Amino acid sequence: MTTHAPRVFSGMQPTGNLTLGNYLGALRNFVALQDDEAFERLYCVVDLHAITVAQDPATLSRTTREVAAAYIASGLDPKRSILFNQSRVTAHAELGWIFTCVARMGWLNRMTQFKEKAGKNRENASVGLFSYPTLMAADILAYRATHVPVGEDQKQHLELTRDIAAKFNNDFQVPDFFPQPEPLIQKETARIMSLRNGANKMSKSDPSDMSRINLTDDADLIAQKIRKAKTDPEPLPSEAEGLEGRPEALNLVGIFAALSGVSVADVLAEHGGQGFGAFKPALADLTVERIAPIGEEMRRLMETPDEIDAILADGAERAGALARPVLREVYETLGLNGGGTA
């Protein structure tokens, strides 16, 4: 039984345009949690994670603000939630290093995301890409966060966070120093798939822009991408079982269900028997209605980057005030005299 106060932490990488997958899998949940006063909430733009793969500095600076703009445009209120970018709070990098000394090579060797992202070019991947989950553990545990809203792809990293917390508590005989954070995964939207290939997840770094809906896409582009989304020639079934073995159809129906707030069964009850020629325009209209206003608001916010920076600076100050005492205790626990005070 943990004694830690309920606290939510999550983040997104500024590695490109946020997608409908990021929105339905995680961001929408960040916003929903804002109404739950039981939790203190920290939402971070994890720019230090972004540099685990090559980034153009000017682009990174812009996309960091853009992710912050997406947070705000989606409904996060910087007064009710703490919004900041990771590199402004040095506790993340400090604790990240300490956790690279707690985590075991064998644990990291099992991470599927590293294998996917490094691909065949493993020898040339950055050490940061390999040790990414230790920094993610630091992001969460620097605040002793108890709950982490994420998509399915982050589940394994969160399990590693729990292992790191347990090993730290055990190695240094400090029971319950760090909590065992729980993932908050929305089952229905845990994995939104690419529009070009139902076997791959929708991803902001997919080389094909047609594979994803970006939150910044305008109405015409959203409609075009849905019109061109890969499907099969069969009409939609009337029941969910009929979507088995049809990953692209399942994905589009799942997106429709998530955006309209109903179940897959309800969508099929209404649209079953329709071909994609009829279903896709309905999905396009719904997606435009829900997503295009977010992009418009993002563009408005991006006109005043100084205001975004001020929000991030304020959030970083509040986040730093929470993390510093934890870090101080970590340094003391490890016998690192005066650590973190320079």
Residues 6+ apart with CB under 8 A from 24: 186, 189, 192, 255, 258, 259
Contact 29, 184 (CB under 8 A): yes
Q: Roughly how many angstroms between the first and final C-alpha of the chain, as a whole number? A: 36
Instruction: Say whether residue 192 binds ligand AQP (CB under 6 A).
Output: yes
Tokens 């969460």 sit on residue: 140
Could you give the residue numbers annotated as active site?
Answer: 117, 201, 204
Contact 300, 308 (CB under 8 A): no
Q: Which residue, 11 or 78, is less far from ligand AQP as judged by CB? A: 11
**Residue 169 exposed, middle or buried by CB count within 10 Å (0-12, 13-18, 19+):** middle
Q: What mask, x for binding ligand AQP by CB under 6 A, covers residues 6 to 35?
A: ------xx-x---x-xx--xx---------
Radius of gyration of the chain (CA): 21
Q: Which stretch binds ligand AQP (CB under 6 A): 120-128, 185-193, 254-262, 326-334?
A: 185-193
Cα–Cα nearest to 87, from 14, 156, 145: 14
Residues 6+ apart with CB under 8 A from 191: 21, 25, 151, 152, 153, 201
Q: Which residue, 117 or 280, is less far from ligand AQP as judged by CB? A: 117
Q: Which residue, 46 or 268, is less far from ligand AQP as judged by CB? A: 46
Contact 312, 45 (CB under 8 A): yes
Instruction: Say whether residue 52 binds ligand AQP (CB under 6 A).
Output: no
Q: How many residues bind ligand AQP (CB under 6 A)?
A: 20
Instruction: Say whether residue 254 binds ligand AQP (CB under 6 A).
Output: no
Binding to ligand AQP (CB under 6 A) within 118-157 occurs at 150-151, 153-154
Measured from the CB of residue 182, what is the shortest distance to ligand AQP in angstroms?
14
Residues 6+ apart with CB under 8 A from 150: 10, 25, 26, 158, 183, 184, 185
Q: Where are the alpha helices (DSSP H) in the chain?
A: 20-22, 28-33, 47-50, 57-74, 91-100, 105-109, 112-118, 127-141, 155-171, 219-228, 247-260, 264-271, 276-302, 305-334
Instruction: Say whether residue 205 binds ligand AQP (CB under 6 A).
Output: yes
Q: Which residue, 74 or 154, is less far from ligand AQP as judged by CB? A: 154
Measured from the CB of residue 166, what is the shortest distance to ligand AQP in angstroms?
22
Binding to ligand AQP (CB under 6 A) within 276-335 occurs at none
Measured from the CB of residue 146, what is the shortest distance to ligand AQP in angstroms?
17
Q: Which residue, 211 or 231, is less far from ligand AQP as judged by CB? A: 211
Instruction: Tell me how far apart the alpha carbons of residues 197 and 202 are, in angstroms, rounded to a whole number.
Output: 9
In the bound state, the residue with its beta carbon closest to ligand AQP is 25
Q: Which residue, 95 or 202, is less far from ligand AQP as judged by CB? A: 202
62, 67, 68, 72 alpha-carbon torsion, rounded to 10° = 130
Measured from the CB of residue 310, what is the shortest distance to ligand AQP in angstroms?
23
Q: Which stretch binds ligand AQP (CB under 6 A): 165-173, 203-211, 249-257, 259-267?
A: 203-211
Measured from the CB of residue 211, what is the shortest distance to ligand AQP in angstroms?
10
Q: Which residue, 110 or 234, is less far from ligand AQP as judged by CB? A: 110
Tokens 């060797």 sit on residue: 109
Measured from the CB of residue 173, what is the shortest distance to ligand AQP in angstroms?
33
Instruction: Say whether residue 191 binds ligand AQP (CB under 6 A).
Output: yes
Residues at the interface with ligand AQP (CB under 6 A): 12-13, 15, 19, 21-22, 25-26, 150-151, 153-154, 190-192, 201-205
